[in-house]
A and B are shown apart, each in its own frame.
Chain A
Amino acid sequence: MVLAELGGSISRALQKMSNATIIDEKVLGECLNEITRALMQSDVKFEMIRDMMANIKRIVNLEDLAAGHNKRRIIQQFGLFIASPCSTALHLKSLILINLAIEHKANERVTNRIRASTTSTSSSNDLLPQLPSIPYTNPVEPVTAHVIDLDLVGAHRIVHDDLVAYLVATAPLLRYGSVIASSSRSSGRIFEVAVFNELCKMMDPGKPSFSPKKGKSCVVMFVGLQGSGKTTTCTKYAYYHQKKGFKPALVCADTFRAGAFDQLKQNATKAKIPFYGSYMESDPVKIAAEGVERFKKENNDLIIVDTSGRHMQEAALFEEMRQVSEATKPDLVIFVMDGSIGQMAFAQSQAFKQSVPVGAVIVTKMDGHAKGGGALSAVAATKSPVIFIGTGEHMDEFEVFDVKPFVSRLLGMGDWSGFMDK
């Protein structure tokens, strides 16, 4: 599995931390070191790891925050709430109220009042007129993660980010009826969620990529470093869509690499996909334009343009790529990246993004041993999501990639894709 080893190391580190009887600076520090090491071994860019660690520390180290004192107390109160014997739904409401209070910079007096009324077992519904009611059948039955459904977060935007993290973290505890006994415990959970969020942030650029529509002509251009797997992946991408009912076509705009046209031709023939290219013409811009025009006429709805490998140190090669892009006006530019790439991943992918409008990333050769952390750099540098991964040399060794369920699985947190949607 992609990045699975990284996931394993991170969740082991987190597990070790949460098993500790007292979670103090030292325990958190050790955990961070282990996570840093796991990320380093997966080829995540050094500077990104450093920033990620700083962010996590910032979130966990409550005292450093401007609203520090208040928040710290509130977090401790959370502990109290959860431990107190009232219904789970009530906890939630009170949590949300406290968040409201924070949002509105309510003073401590208000927060205390809210606390006073919500901790009592009497109904506090009058305090919650503006909140949607939380569906629960039996007030003492633990609220499941799905009931919390961050609806409240997404739709009403009333919960402070860090506290959303806290809510999500405590959801499984609520579900299993556990309690949080001390504020030290909760800082452990916050920490865990901070890690989760930082990973999501790294992997998820926050916007989906263009996806082709059947029957509506579109052009997809593949770019990337030499030997990253563009030509192979072009065919895989075409074949994948062909099986879904698209009418793909392949254009070979690589006039440089020896045997490039033969490679594409043989792949396309195997997959029974029409192709265009030339042994004589040496101008990739011309071929690309001709190919696209031809397949538009033939009503192919997915026209895929393969280009030569290139790298940022050769300005002329980037200029050529820019021209191919200009001539073909692609709806989507896909950056293809080798999963074993190291610390150059960020600079190279950023350079591609600066020349052509990269909109998606495909990571190849994930059938090997590489942990694929370079993908994180590519996502950050291109602000584009990973949409597929290549898992072998054969046409069908190709998997759709979706980041959020992936990151949560990675951390052994179950599939929480619904929750993390903003």
Chain B
Amino acid sequence: MFQSISGNSVLEKSDLQPALKALKDRLMTKNVAEEIAEKLCESVAASLEGKKLGSFTRISSTVQAAMEEALLRILTPKRSIDILRDVHAAKEQGKPYVIVFVGVNGVGKSTNLAKVAYWLLQHEISVMLAACDTFRSGAVEQLRTHARRLQIPIFEKGYEKDPAIVAKEAIQEASRNKSDVVLVDTAGRMQDNEPLMRALSKLINLNNPDLVLFVGEALVGNDAVDQLSKFNQKLADLSAVPTARLIDGILLTKFDTIDDKVGAALSMVYISGAPVMFVGCGQSYTDLKKLNVKSIVKTLLK
């Protein structure tokens, strides 16, 4: 595709440009946000500039290899969170382990919360659901249906209650009935809706959960960057306590709807630094997987 340069020429920015442009385009067709694709290409350029190109090596393959390395580094989690281990640790301290599911509207928070409940049940962990979406029509009934199907308890106070208080009462109830885990469902909200973000910050501050899980859908385009950065930023800015809790991990949903356009995973991880802890890939309880970093990288570069 690009001219091969033989001999030991030193790579200059202008040599790299065409290959990088092609790579950026490829990432964007795979649904990586423009800003992220651009930043990645810049850092790959910086890492290669001034380096010597081996004999008979194509610039395009050098660039591709550098990009592959960068992608692997970004997508491989820096902090590892082992939920099962942490749940057992909390249990030993006699406390329920609390996970709060947050995210914008309709991404799959409630459905994937139910899938996580199912996964925990498979590991013989007792689960209670907390219906803290007290706003959207049918949200409480939706969670109730899941609780019934999974035969697990649900804590609910109907609609129009303060979700922060409902969550608090749910956790107290879980301590009483010795549930190992409380899964807190929250209403969907747009990342720049100040009052709703404030309410979410209150819920998190008041209850200090063990895990704040951001639920994002793999279908999302450039907005992925804004969603994650604003959720983090608002949670930091609106927090009433000095050490604000931010997003700990990501649950990436609707992975079954995107074919090879897997770029949202990269955008989300790049911008937040949080690991993808689960991948939702369907509408039934068993459709929950772990992210396969290698296959994502391969797909992105294909």
Neighbouring B residues of A369 by C-beta, 8 Å: 190-192, 223, 226-227, 230
* Contact of A227 with B257 at beta-carbon distance under 8 Å, contacts A41-B35, A342-B219, A367-B190 already known: no
Q: Is A197 among interface residues, defined by CB-CB distance under 8 A?
A: no
* Contact of A263 with B138 at beta-carbon distance under 8 Å, contacts A41-B34, A340-B104, A393-B105 already known: yes
A226 interface neighbour in B138, B145, B257, B261, Cβ under 8 Å = B257
Assembly CA distance A229 to B222 (angstroms): 19
Neighbouring B residues of A343 by C-beta, 8 Å: 28-31, 221, 261, 263
Interface of A is mostly: loop
Could you tell me if B28 and A46 are in contact, using CB atoms closer than 8 angstroms?
A: yes
Could you tell me if A259 and B192 are in contact, using CB atoms closer than 8 angstroms?
A: no
* Contact of A40 with B28 at beta-carbon distance under 8 Å, contacts A340-B221, A369-B191 already known: yes
Q: Is A307 among interface residues, defined by CB-CB distance under 8 A?
A: no
Could you tell me if B104 and A365 are in contact, using CB atoms closer than 8 angstroms?
A: yes
Neighbouring B residues of A345 by C-beta, 8 Å: 221
Could you tell me if A41 and B257 are in contact, using CB atoms closer than 8 angstroms?
A: no
Q: Is B136 among interface residues, defined by CB-CB distance under 8 A?
A: yes
Q: Is B293 among interface residues, defined by CB-CB distance under 8 A?
A: no
Q: Is B254 among interface residues, defined by CB-CB distance under 8 A?
A: yes
Q: Is B212 among interface residues, defined by CB-CB distance under 8 A?
A: no
Q: Is B139 among interface residues, defined by CB-CB distance under 8 A?
A: yes
Q: Is A118 among interface residues, defined by CB-CB distance under 8 A?
A: no
Q: Which of A263, A311, A373, A393: most chain B CB closer than 10 A?
A: A393
Could you tell me if B141 and A225 are in contact, using CB atoms closer than 8 angstroms?
A: no
Q: Is A155 among interface residues, defined by CB-CB distance under 8 A?
A: no
List B residues 254-297 near A (Cβ within 8 Å): 254, 256-259, 261, 263-264, 283
Neighbouring A residues of B29 by C-beta, 8 Å: 46-47, 343
Q: Is A18 among interface residues, defined by CB-CB distance under 8 A?
A: no
Contact-residue size bin, chain B (C-beta under 8 Å from the other chain): 35 or more
Neighbouring A residues of B139 by C-beta, 8 Å: 259, 263
Across the two chains, which residue of chain A brings its CB closest to B38? A37
Neighbouring A residues of B248 by C-beta, 8 Å: none
Q: Which of B107, B136, B256: most chain A CB closer than 10 A?
A: B136
Q: Is B156 among interface residues, defined by CB-CB distance under 8 A?
A: no
Q: Is B202 among interface residues, defined by CB-CB distance under 8 A?
A: no
Could you tell me if A227 and B107 are in contact, using CB atoms closer than 8 angstroms?
A: yes
Could you tell me if A311 and B257 are in contact, using CB atoms closer than 8 angstroms?
A: yes
Q: Is B146 among interface residues, defined by CB-CB distance under 8 A?
A: yes
List B residues 106-164 near A (Cβ within 8 Å): 106-108, 110-111, 114, 135-146, 149
- Min CB distance B70 to A, Å, is 20
List A residues 372-419 near B (Cβ within 8 Å): 373-374, 393
B256 interface neighbour in A46, A311, A368, Cβ under 8 Å = A311
Across the two chains, which residue of chain A brings its CB closest to B29? A46
Assembly CA distance A1 to B136 (angstroms): 24
- Min CB distance A316 to B, Å, is 12
- Min CB distance B281 to A, Å, is 10
Could you tell me if A344 and B137 are in contact, using CB atoms closer than 8 angstroms?
A: no
Could you tell me if B106 and A259 are in contact, using CB atoms closer than 8 angstroms?
A: no
Could you tell me if B31 and A262 are in contact, using CB atoms closer than 8 angstroms?
A: no
A266 interface neighbour in B104, B110, B137, B191, Cβ under 8 Å = B137
Q: Is B180 among interface residues, defined by CB-CB distance under 8 A?
A: no
Across the two chains, which residue of chain B brings its CB closest to A317? B283
A227 interface neighbour in B108, B114, B224, B227, Cβ under 8 Å = B108
Q: Which of A266, A313, A344: most chain B CB closer than 10 A?
A: A344
Q: Is A356 among interface residues, defined by CB-CB distance under 8 A?
A: no
Across the two chains, which residue of chain A brings its CB closest to B104? A368
Across the two chains, which residue of chain B brings its CB closest to A314? B256
Could you tell me if B136 and A263 are in contact, using CB atoms closer than 8 angstroms?
A: yes
Q: Is B220 among interface residues, defined by CB-CB distance under 8 A?
A: yes
Neighbouring B residues of A259 by C-beta, 8 Å: 138-145
Q: Is B25 among interface residues, defined by CB-CB distance under 8 A?
A: yes
Neighbouring B residues of A301 by C-beta, 8 Å: none
Could you tell me if A370 and B106 are in contact, using CB atoms closer than 8 angstroms?
A: no
27 contacts between A and B (CB under 8 A): A40-B28, A40-B222, A43-B223, A46-B28, A227-B105, A227-B107, A227-B108, A229-B106, A256-B283, A258-B145, A259-B139, A262-B138, A263-B137, A270-B137, A311-B257, A341-B219, A342-B261, A342-B264, A343-B221, A344-B31, A344-B258, A365-B104, A367-B190, A368-B191, A370-B222, A371-B223, A393-B105
Q: CB within 8 Å of B: which residues of A?
A: 37, 40-43, 46-47, 225-229, 256-267, 270, 311-314, 338, 340-345, 347-348, 365, 367-371, 373-374, 393
The 3 A-B residue pairs with the shortest CB-CB distance, nearest first, are A342-B221, A263-B138, A259-B142
